[in-house]
Amino acid sequence: MDIHDSPLLTDLYQLTMVDSYLQRGMVGPASFELFSRKLPPGRSFYIAAGIEETAAWLENLAFGEDELEWVRSCGHFRPDFADELATMRFTGHFDAVPEGTVLFPNEPILRVTAPLPVAQLVESRLMNLVHIHTLLTSKAARCVLAAGGRRLVDFGMRRAHGAEAALAAARATWIAGFDGTATCLAGALYGIPTVGTMAHSYILAFEREIDAFRAFADAHPDNVILLIDTYDTMAAAHKVVQLTREGIPVKGVRLDSGDLADEARKVRSIFDEGGQQQIQILASGNLDEHEITRLIAAGAPIDGFGTGTLVDTAADQPHLDMAYKLQEYNGQPRRKRSTGKMHWPARKQIFRVFNEETCAGDTVGLADETLSGSPLLERVLENGKRLGPATGIQQIRERIRDNLRQLPPACLRLDASPEAYPVTISSALEEAARKADSYQV
């Protein structure tokens, strides 16, 4: 079993519900939509991601023999349930906003329309995929906004939550606009530029720090970025000037500890006084959009940032509110009324209005309404098959860049109001909500 593709990467209740639906012949068409009710504090938007991975997963959904064997032997199900699962495929429709689209609360990211058991079955992994990619891409986009064009690279693999999260972080930071990742496997699988030179252990493995610097320049003359905070940062900066005068092509140095703004200023002075204005200063260590903003505001002469743990775990907000809810079954709109968990029922569409090059407002309406603005949800899979080629990460990267450029300035602040962008509900959708609530229970 490949853990990424296994249909057993789901919650047991999906299977108990599917079992019950099949027993009762409840296989009519159902539409579920995924959306976020509210954003974390200080955020006005998020970036929809994970759409392409989800489409690929849906297309290949199938129970293998090992998985069916577990269903037979786990003790939860009647004997013939596994046989029914054996033939189950995703034969429905998958509509979604293009990956990399900026979205706002209560707007559907995607819609699944399929026979009720299938549409239910896919919930857990679909959410798992869309959530991690959306979470990390949205976080990385904030770093890109904060860095104001300075170089940004992803160093966070070691503390990402496992292998899939590490790769998702490398992909997310790249599509959000970072310049590269340290994660080699993301280079091999996605073609993302890889970056990296040395750790403190490299310096420690040599008798003297300067021996390590020389050895690295010898092995990697095109990529001489030296880590200078292992022992005494200022002493190391003077050594760098000396090496440069000897002809060693030092491109930059990295600071990874201490007061980065203060250290960067002192190191910059040493380089400038030594006539080495061309040597760049890179910084890493506990960086995220907030710390990058603080360093830039403090006038720190830092040319590039390496982010790690705080971005790859989305540490200040490691989860997003996200719900996959039944909107319509057998043609009738549905919604639950649990306290604090209301949502807009029925199959919906987002209509985005532009004022020249800027987004001016969205309306969420019914999927079959025609309202002014560009509809955002598009069909990705029809009857389980892709309608067009998958979108590559380069194209998603450009879409995110363009979407961020189109946002009004109030949305781009790191402490934006959740209401910075106007989202309206159409009157037809309000009517559908009243209708859904009128059902007896």
Q: Which of residues 144-203 bind a second copy (CB under 8 A)?
A: 155, 157-168, 182-185, 187-189, 194-203
| Residues 195, 12: Cα–Cα separation, whole Å | 41
Q: How far is the CB of 118 from a second copy (least distance, A)?
A: 13
Spatial CB neighbours of 23, under 8 Å, sequence gap ≥ 6 = 78
List binders of a second copy among 258-277 (CB under 8 A). 258
Print the binding letters for residues 70-99 with a second copy: x by CB under 8 A, - otherwise.
x---x-x-----------------------
Q: Let me know: does 240 contact 226? Beta carbons within 8 Å.
A: yes
Q: Total residues contacting a second copy (rule CB under 8 A)? A: 108
The interface region with a second copy, picked from 89-97, 210-218, 375-383, 412-420 by CB under 8 A, is 210-218
We find the least distance from the C-beta atom of residue 39 to a second copy, in angstroms, to be 15
Q: What is the DSSP letter of 194?
A: B
Report phi then psi at 323, rounded to 5.
-140, 145
Q: Segment contacting a second copy (CB under 8 A): 13-21, 84-92, 95-103, 269-277?
A: 13-21
C-alpha atoms less than 13 angstroms from C-alpha of 387 in its C-beta half-sphere: 11
User: Nearest distance from residue 120's CB to a second copy, in Å?
Assistant: 6
Nearer to a second copy, 327 or 403 (CB): 327
Which are the contacts of 345, defined by CB distance < 8 A and separation ≥ 6? 327, 328, 333, 334, 335, 432, 433, 436
Distance CA 291, CA 14 (A): 42
* 27 is a site residue for a second copy (CB under 8 A): no
Spatial contact of 14 and 81, defined as CB atoms under 8 Å apart: no
Interface positions, 290-329, toward a second copy (CB under 8 A): 309-310, 313-315, 318-319, 322, 325-326, 329
- Rounded to an integer, what is the distance from CA 37 to the centroid of its chain? 18
Query: Is 159:144 a contact under the CB 8 Å cutoff?
Result: no
CB of 256 to a second copy, least distance (A): 7
In angstroms, the Cα distances linking 75 to 82, 216, 307, 396 are 12, 59, 46, 44
Please state, in angstroms and rounded to a whole number, the distance separating the CA atoms of residues 419 and 245. 55
Residue 292 vs 359, nearer CB to a second copy: 292
On whether the CB atoms of residues 54 and 129 are closer than 8 A, the answer is yes
Backbone Cα Rg of the chain: 26
Is 232 among the residues that bind a second copy (CB under 8 A)? yes
As a whole number of angstroms, the distance between CA 439 and CA 278 comes to 71
* Residues 373-402 within binding reach of a second copy (CB under 8 A): none
State which residue, 204 or 428, has the beta carbon closest to a second copy: 204
Single out the residue of 137, 230, 244, 426 in contact with a second copy (rule: CB under 8 A): 230
Write down the least CB distance from residue 251 to a second copy, Å: 14
Residues 399-418 that bind a second copy (CB under 8 A): none
- Closest alpha carbon to 169 in 39, 315, 11, 64: 315
**Which residue lies nearer to a second copy by CB, 188 or 387?**
188
> Segment near a second copy (CB under 8 A), from 5-13, 97-105, 297-305, 406-414?
5-13
Q: Taking CB under 8 A as the rule, does residue 143 contact a second copy?
A: no
Q: How far apart are CA 29 and CA 16, in angstroms?
A: 19
**Selected binder of a second copy within 16, 60, 278, 383 (CB under 8 A):** 16
Shortest distance, position 408 Cβ to a second copy, whole Å: 30
**Nearer Cβ to a second copy, position 204 or 387?**
204
Q: Among the candidate windows 129-137, 264-272, 393-401, 409-417, which touches a second copy by CB under 8 A?
A: 129-137
